[in-house]
């Protein structure tokens, strides 16, 4: 098997030279005893490998070369494990125009020394991908996480321990050019909430203005990374989620896919699965007039308030109840005079309504009406 | 084997035909010392050689083809019997590139040690570091290294290596001087004539081959690096000698400090870092932190953390560090920390206290903003966090809500800072009301604050 990273040890007594001669007269070519590929850092992969070096008492010279492999040379470390006090690294030399180095190692005895070599390796990384299967009621989600390890580093690894965190270790061969998808975690029946979201800044207000076109209302599954939800041990890594739903016939349908962002413990994520056409929102502004007008000496308006009324009709054509998140925005300074539904103020200009819609009755959609009467204050022309 | 050649021939005649070499000796180098600067492409070489002189005029030819030696820096100094030897001139013969001939008048015959010194370019060195954090991230082992690169065109065997930290002032770049056709240029020439860059041979020579067994025994431990301050410089002298052939580089450990106390500090400042929280690591270069004997030269640093009893590591991040004088604090930026969230939200905005001028136009007003900052530490360890807020005007007043006042501090005329200690897996909220004064209301603010 081709190995781009190779090792040669030459005892100083036999080969007192470093350079071209010693590099071709190999005394030993110790294989890797073990290798750990540490992938907990999203940007850098740390390789820790153990080899047994045959050291002689006195000076030893050890070659480490990494042709066609991108290693950060400053990151290369060698640690003796069996005789940490009896084996000392004196210096490291780098030959010209070569991806290689030569360690000069002093040993107090003739030892077969286990050493750990670590380095940061390029072109080897990991991705996370998820498969999520919702139950038929869309209240529970089976979430399977896969780890995708891509090795284009130029270096093959046999029996590598691929480490992600304290709990997650995989033992696999990883050839150069190989991509492996590994089953990482499986979480069954995670509670999810299906949410429909209509945002007044993003969606058209009046479907009647759009001839023969549906207005899609984005649908998402809301998932919380918490113990109560069966998660909460660690952050979820970012990755693509493919969503399926149990179709009730021992099979599934594909719902859609979305990217999950980095999700720390305690945070919630919403996975977009597509648009719903079964809920229709028709919003109109029915009043906007200037009041409390302040003019300067030349009769120009310098400051005024507004009186505004906004209505929204929400229709549910589904045969099941739904919860719609309706987002309204009022810029600047404002005061609510009356509002037909309760809301949460998310920030200075964002109002969020969580509206529970009953199922349709017979052929008629369930309808909920919203009316907001508010004044905007201190508006300047 | 040295690539440049020192040729000595002795003659009683003052005039010597340069093309005719009567006697050639190649005195071996007794010792070589190279002093490599960090801030410029500059290395001082001292090459000690015993020369066998005869009474009268002696000539010494020195050639440096294929190297990056500055010919104007060449000096020859007798180490003994200086009163017996006059070095009368150094000649750069015509049409003979990279050759210099010294004329020595000696009043005695015999072996006299000399030192040839010159400046060369093509060497450089840099420092780099590895910090290995303990599992609880309260201390780290700090390992310092230097890496010396030799692209000088010359092999240096068994040379004492010294490294200089500090800014050096040069009028000419040594590399430029080394490339001149004529060492000092030509009359009337404003700019020195340029030669194509010297092609450096890449012949790789074995080094260390002659290392004797007694030396092996003597050097069978990592070398110490002696550190001392000189003028505005800091000098690092590597124990013993090193052989660095042309084209090679060499890494040497410069120091190691155990259990250096470190402070992890997380910073949030939108104008500086955007929406991410940035993780910083701090340590002092002083005795209390098991350091402080010398300044720490600037260089790249990689930070790992110990994650098991078997000493396995994980990579935490890396950055460049600047030169750290003794007693100063080092700051390492380890990049964004995804597991610490700081989310400021403007929760309310209003204007008030309008003032109007004689013409009825607006001349002053206040803006009142209520801001809530949600903070979450999802790391499994406690953290210290600094949140800076910059205001668009120096005319402001701030009312802290809840216990935000306890962690509040004014930094400058338009910046405030909140410093928090967050337990593991915890969340909290800071709330403040900021009133900014505009137009003539700034005058009211000034009156109130006088």
Q: Is the pLDDT of residue B26 over 70?
A: no
As a whole number of angstroms, the distance between CA B420 and CA B27 comes to 69
* Test the A interface: residue of B144, B251, B300 with most A CBs within 10 Å: B251
Instruction: Please tell me the distance from the alpha carbon of residue B252 to that of residue B127, in angstroms, as a whole number.
Output: 10
User: Could you report the per-residue pLDDT of B113-168, keeping only the tens digit for each?
Assistant: 999 999 999 999 999 999 999 988 999 999 999 999 999 999 999 999 999 887 88
Residue B340 confidence (pLDDT): 93
CB contact under 8 A, B251 and A92: yes
pLDDT tens-digit map of A273-300: 888 888 989 999 999 999 999 999 999 9
Asked if A152 has any chain B CB less than 8 Å from its own CB, the reply is: no
Q: What is the DSSP letter of B210?
A: T
The secondary structure of residue B194, as a DSSP letter, is B
3-state secondary structure of A22: helix
Q: How far apart are alpha carbons A245 and A140 in whole angstroms?
A: 10
Nearby residues of A198 by Cβ (< 8 Å), 6 or more positions away = A217, A279, A281, A314, A324, A325, A326, A327
Q: How far apart are CA A333 and CA B333, in angstroms?
A: 40
- A32 close to A3: Cβ distance less than 8 angstroms: no
Task: Using CB atoms, pick whichever of B252, B356, B362 lies closest to residue A91.
Answer: B252
The CA-to-CA distance between both ends of chain A, in Å, stands at: 76
**Considering the entire predicted model, what is its pTM?**
0.77
State how far residue A91 is from chain B, nearest Cα, in angstroms: 5
The verdict on ipTM greater than 0.85 is no
Interchain contact, A38 vs B314, CB within 8 Å: yes
Which of A18, A46, A349 is nearest residue B314 as measured by Cβ atoms? A46
Does A349 contact B at CB distance below 8 Å? yes
Apex A17 CA angle, A11 and A23, nearest 5? 80
Residues of B with CB below 8 A from A96's CB? 202, 204, 245-248
Which of the four pLDDT bands, split at 50, 70 and 90, describes residue B359? very high
CA distance B346 to chain A (A): 5
Q: Tell me how far apart the alpha carbons of residues A256 and A132 are, in angstroms, rounded to a whole number.
A: 10
Say if residues A166 and B307 touch (Cβ distance below 8 Å).
yes
Give residue A11's pLDDT band: very low, low, confident or very high (50, 70, 90): low
- How far is Cα B243 from Cα B46, in angstroms, rounded to an integer? 15
pLDDT of residue B267: 96
Q: How far apart are CA B123 and CA B162, in angstroms?
A: 12
Q: Which two tokens stand for residue B231?
A: 């003028």
- Does the pLDDT value for residue A192 go beyond 60? yes
Place of tokens 């003028």: B231
Mean pLDDT of chain B: 84
Interface residue of A12, A16, A85, A98 to substitute, partner B, most B CBs within 10 Å? A16
Element (H, E) at B84: none
Question: Does B250 contact A at CB distance below 8 Å?
Answer: yes
Residues of A in contact with B354 (CB under 8 A): 303, 378
Q: What pLDDT does residue B218 have?
A: 46
Asked whether the beta carbons of residue B311 and residue A265 sit closer than 8 angstroms, the reply is no
What is the percentage of chain B residues whose pLDDT exceeds 90? 51
What mean pLDDT comes out for the span A130-140? 92
Q: What is the pLDDT of residue A2?
A: 54
Q: Distance between CA atoms of A98 and A96, rounded to whole angstroms?
A: 5
Please tell me the distance from the alpha carbon of residue A38 to that of residue A45, in angstroms, as a whole number: 6
Instruction: Return the residue of A nearest to B304 by Cα.
Output: A46
- Chain A residues near residue B266 by CB distance under 8 angstroms: none
Q: Do A94 and B205 touch (CB under 8 A)?
A: no
Distance from the A359 Cα atom to the nearest Cα atom in chain B, whole angstroms:
35
Q: Does residue B39 have a pLDDT over 90?
A: no
Placement of tokens 């045969």 in the chain? A319
Strands of A87-94's sheet in order across: A5-11, A58-66, A100-107, A87-94, B249-261, B139-150, B123-133, B299-306, B313-321
Pair A17, B207: CB distance under 8 Å: yes
A28 touches chain B (CB under 8 A): no
Q: What is the mean pLDDT of residues B12-25?
A: 38
- More confidently predicted of A243 and A17: A243
Give the mean pLDDT of B61-80. Answer: 90
Question: B60 - beta bridge partners?
Answer: B8, B102
Of all residues in chain B, the one with the smallest CA distance to A333 is B350
Short-list A51, A350, A1, A306, CA closest to A199: A350
């Amino acid at each position: 098997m081709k190995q781009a990273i190779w090792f040669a040890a030459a005892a100083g007594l036999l080969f007192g030279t470093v350079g071209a001669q010693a590099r071709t007269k190999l005394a030993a070519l110790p294989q890797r005893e073990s290798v750990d590929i540490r992938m907990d850092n999203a940007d850098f992969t740390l390789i820790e490998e153990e080899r047994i070096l045959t050291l002689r008492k006195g000076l030893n010279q050890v070659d480490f070369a990494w042709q066609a492999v991108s290693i950060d040379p400053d990151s290369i470390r060698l640690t003796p494990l069996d005789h940490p006090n009896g084996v000392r690294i004196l210096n490291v030399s780098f030959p010209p125009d070569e991806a290689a180095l030569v360690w000069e190692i002093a040993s107090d005895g003739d030892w077969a020394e286990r050493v750990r070599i670590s380095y940061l390796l390029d072109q080897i990384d990991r991705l996370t991908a998820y498969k999520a299967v919702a139950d038929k009621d869309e209240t529970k989600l089976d979430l399977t996480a896969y780890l995708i390890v891509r090795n284009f580093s130029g270096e093959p690894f046999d029996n590598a321990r691929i480490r992600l965190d304290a709990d997650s270790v995989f033992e696999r061969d990883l050839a150069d050019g190989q991509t492996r998808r590994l089953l990482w975690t499986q979480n069954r029946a995670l509670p999810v909430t299906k949410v429909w979201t209509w945002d007044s800044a993003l969606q058209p207000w009046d479907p009647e203005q759009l001839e023969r076109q549906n207005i899609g209302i984005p649908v998402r599954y809301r998932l919380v990374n918490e113990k109560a939800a069966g998660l909460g041990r660690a952050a979820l890594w970012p990755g693509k989620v493919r969503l399926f739903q149990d179709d009730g016939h021992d099979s599934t349908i594909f719902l859609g896919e979305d990217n999950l962002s980095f999700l720390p413990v305690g945070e919630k994520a919403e996975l977009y699965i597509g648009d719903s056409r079964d809920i229709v929102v028709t919003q109109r502004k029915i009043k906007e007039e200037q009041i409390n007008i302040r003019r300067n000496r030349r009769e120009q308006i310098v400051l005024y308030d507004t009186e505004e009324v906004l209505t929204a009709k929400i229709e549910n054509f589904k045969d099941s109840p739904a919860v719609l998140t309706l987002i309204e925005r009022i810029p600047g300074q404002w005061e609510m005079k009356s509002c037909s539904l309760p809301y949460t103020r998310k920030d200075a200009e964002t109002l969020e309504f969580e509206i529970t819609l009953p199922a349709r009755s017979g052929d008629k959609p369930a309808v909920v009406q919203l009316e907001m009467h508010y004044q905007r204050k201190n508006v300047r022309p | 084997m040295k690539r440049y050649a020192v040729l000595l021939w002795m003659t009683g005649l003052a005039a010597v035909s340069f093309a005719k070499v009567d006697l050639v000796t190649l005195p071996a180098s007794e010792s070589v010392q190279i002093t490599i600067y960090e801030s410029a492409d500059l290395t001082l070489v001292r090459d000690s050689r015993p020369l066998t002189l005869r009474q009268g005029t002696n000539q010494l030819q020195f050639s440096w083809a294929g190297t990056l030696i500055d010919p104007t820096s060449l000096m020859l100094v007798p180490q003994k019997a200086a009163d017996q030897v006059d070095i009368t001139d150094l000649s750069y013969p015509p049409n003979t590139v990279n050759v210099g001939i010294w004329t020595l008048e000696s009043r005695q015959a015999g072996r006299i040690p000399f030192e040839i010194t010159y400046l060369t370019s093509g060497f450089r060195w840099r420092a780099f570091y590895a910090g290995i954090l303990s599992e609880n991230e309260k201390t780290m082992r700090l390992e310092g290294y230097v890496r010396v690169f030799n692209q000088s065109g010359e092999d240096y065997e068994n040379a004492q290596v010294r490294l200089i930290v500090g800014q050096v002032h040069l009028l000419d770049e040594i590399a430029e001087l080394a490339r001149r056709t004529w060492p000092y240029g030509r009359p009337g020439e404003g700019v020195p004539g340029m030669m194509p860059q010297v092609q450096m041979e890449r012949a790789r020579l074995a080094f260390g081959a002659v290392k004797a067994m007694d030396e092996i025994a003597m050097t069978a431990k990592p070398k110490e690096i002696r550190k001392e301050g000189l003028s505005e410089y800091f000098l690092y002298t590597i124990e013993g000698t090193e052989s660095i052939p042309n084209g090679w580089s060499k890494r040497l450990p410069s120091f190691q400090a155990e259990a250096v106390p470190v402070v992890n500090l997380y910073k949030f400042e939108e104008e500086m870092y955007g929406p991410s929280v940035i993780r910083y690591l701090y340590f002092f270069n002083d005795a209390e932190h098991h350091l402080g004997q010398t300044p720490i030269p600037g260089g790249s640093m990689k930070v790992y953390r110990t994650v098991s009893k078997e000493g396995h590591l994980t990579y935490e991040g890396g950055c460049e560090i600047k030169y750290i004088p003794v007693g100063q604090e080092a700051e390492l930026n380890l990049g964004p920390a995804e597991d610490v969230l700081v989310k400021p939200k403007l929760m309310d905005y209003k204007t008030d206290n309008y003032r109007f001028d004689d013409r009825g136009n607006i001349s002053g007003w206040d803006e009142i903003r209520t801001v809530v900052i949600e903070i979450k530490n999802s790391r499994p360890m406690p953290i210290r966090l600094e949140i800076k807020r910059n205001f668009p005007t120096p005319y402001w007043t701030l009312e802290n809500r809840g216990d935000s006042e306890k962690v509040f501090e004014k930094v400058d005329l338009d910046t405030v800072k909140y410093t928090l200690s967050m337990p593991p897996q915890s969340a909290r909220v800071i709330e403040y009301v900021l009133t900014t004064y505009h137009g003539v209301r700034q005058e009211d603010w000034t009156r109130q604050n006088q």
